[in-house]
């Protein structure tokens, strides 16, 4: 039974990876790599101070890309709702997609951070632990997108939520807590995780499935 369950889980992961690959999995990696390349090129052309100033503006964009890509996958695919009438279920599909998106987001964030850290152009860098800011940020936005997709009911509403969260974190929260990494990422992660748990519970409610079946929410 455990073997059958594992096989079904692997099959679900493979199917969802194939479905989200171009947007959800590739985009965070590409965005992270592009930001890193810009930082490397700038560090060779101008001094570290100017490079750091540009990197400060570019790094938060990775989290926004992760969040918007996640919304596109979790709220913009009509095929997801069809799973509500199958044994797999919408919740299992959305949760698997969220896990894959989180992995892609974390990988892309590390691809971005590692070369910039080695060049010494990350503002407020306290060493490798500073990777928690972009890597944790990617997780925060995937969890937020998961919750927003379940609660908002439309890609537009979910996108608005993600942009609003990004503005608050990037311009007000993160900039004032650059050296307090545990607080900087811990609080948003806990808040996003709580919201995601609520969404997970909501996705499993029978009345939600019935409401979608008759075209209401």
Q: Are 121 and 43 in contact (CB under 8 A)?
A: yes
Structural domain count of the chain: 1
- Cα angle 144, 146, 149 (rounded to 5 degrees) comes to 105
Domain residues for the domain of 204 are 2-213
Res 184 pLDDT > 80: yes
pLDDT in tens, 32-77: 999 999 999 999 988 889 999 999 999 999 999 999 999 988 886 6
- Is the Cα dihedral 21, 70, 141, 41 positive or negative? positive
Give the DSSP letter of residue 162: H
Q: What is the pTM of this model?
A: 0.85
Q: How far apart are CA 120 and CA 42, in angstroms?
A: 12
Task: Give the chain's mean pLDDT.
Answer: 83
Res 19 pLDDT > 90: no
- Cα angle 172, 173, 174 (rounded to 5 degrees) comes to 110
Helix (H, G, I), strand (E, B) or coil at 205: coil
Percent of the chain with pLDDT over 70: 76
What's the half-sphere exposure (Cβ side, CA atoms, 13 Å) at 210? 3
């Amino acid at each position: 039974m455990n073997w059958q369950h594992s096989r079904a889980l692997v099959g679900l992961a493979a199917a969802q990876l194939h479905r989200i690959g171009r947007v959800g999995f590739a985009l965070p990696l590409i965005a992270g790599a592009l930001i890193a390349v810009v930082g490397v090129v700038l560090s060779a052309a101008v001094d570290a101070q100017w490079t750091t100033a540009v990197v400060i503006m570019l790094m938060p964009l990775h989290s926004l890309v992760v969040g918007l890509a996640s919304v596109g996958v979790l709220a913009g695919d009509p095929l997801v709702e069809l799973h509500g009438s199958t044994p797999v279920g919408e919740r299992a599909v959305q949760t698997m997609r969220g896990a894959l998106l989180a992995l892609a987001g974390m990988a892309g964030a590390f691809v971005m951070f590692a070369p910039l850290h080695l060049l010494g152009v990350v503002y407020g860098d306290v060493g490798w632990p500073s990777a928690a800011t972009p890597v944790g940020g990617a997780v925060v936005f995937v969890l937020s997108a998961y919750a927003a997709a379940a609660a908002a009911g439309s890609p537009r509403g979910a996108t608005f939520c993600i942009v609003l969260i990004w503005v608050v974190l990037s311009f007000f929260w993160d900039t004032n807590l650059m050296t307090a990494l545990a607080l900087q990422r811990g609080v948003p992660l806990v808040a996003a995780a709580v919201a995601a748990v609520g969404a997970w519970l909501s996705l499993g409610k029978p009345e939600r499935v019935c409401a979608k079946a008759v075209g209401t929410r």
